Amino acid sequence: MVKQILPAVAVIFFLSSCSTFKPLNFTSNKQVATAKTPTPKTKFIEEISVVPQTDVDNTNNKEEYKPSSKLSAASRKKSMDAVTVPDRLDEIKLYERMFSSIAAEVESASAVQLKYAVLMNTEVESLPSKSLLEAVDEWYGVRYRTGGNTTSGVDCSGFTVGVYAALYGMSIPRVSRDQYRVSTKLSTTELAPGDLVFFNTTGRGVSHVGIYLGHNKFIHASVSKGVMVNDLFENYYLKRYIGGGRIENKEEITQQGTH
């Protein structure tokens, strides 16, 4: 009987000893866990306490800087406006005078003057005389015809003969080479509106003639397009240009023709 009781007592004692140790171990584990927890919390609180101070300082610095920069920008703009406004007013007045002058010229210009200002790519005030423009314009666009001397068809020398007769009241030779022969020879820089310009288009000497208008432009009876305006420095004409010629006393003849 005693032998049966002793093992039971031993088991009970062992179980009771384990139950006493387990709470102690669990409690000690809990204490260790709670002991570790305050350290990160304290560290987190310290970090938070530092960040707000930095934010407050940065915000204060920005608020102090922005007003000063805005004020300086406004003052710069004000000083710029004070300088540029009078300049702009002066420019506007200058443009107004220029446009008024141009408008007056355009209003007083005739249709033929406006036409040749475009053809010659120049201003109205720098055009040749209105009488010269009107004389050549009678032939403008007339088709080319060899030996022709009317507005139904005209060749280069027939055109110059017709213009000189109408404008200056004078008769000049019918053929271009003879016109060159009787004229006073001129360099390009000596040319004046109304002078003749001569070309070698056939390779056999003077074979073409036109009337100088100014600004390196001349009017002539072109074989391909009839009476038209061209530039002396166009490649085709520059290569074939011989020189200029002036029929003397044509102004005096013009005056006599007006009586």
Kindly name the residue from 18, 215, 220, 259 that is annotated as catalytic.
220
Distance CA 24, CA 220 (A): 127
Q: Pick the catalytic residue from 18, 156, 215, 259.
A: 156
Q: How far apart are alpha carbons 190 and 208 in whole angstroms? A: 20
Any catalytic annotation for residue 208? yes
The two beta strands, 184-186 and 241-246, are antiparallel
Cβ distance 225 to 237 under 8 Å?
no
Residue 259 annotated as catalytic = no
* Catalytic option among 18, 208, 215, 259: 208
Catalytic: 156?
yes
Q: Which of 188, 189, 97 is nearest to 197 (CA)?
A: 188
SS (H, E, C) the chain: CHHHHHHHHHHHHHHHHHHHHHHHHHHHHHHHHHHHCHHHHHHHHHHHHHHHHHHHHHHHHHHHHHHHHHHHHHHHHHHHHHHHHHHHHHHHHHHHHHHHHHHHHHHHCCHHHHHHHHHCCCCHHHCCCHHHHHHHHCCCCCCECCCCEECCEECHHHHHHHHHHHHHCCCCCCCHHHHHHHCEEECHHHCCCCCEEEECCCCCCCCEEEEEEECCEEEEEECCCEEEEEECCCHHHHHHEEEEEECCCHHHHHHHHHC
Catalytic residue ranges: 156, 208, 220
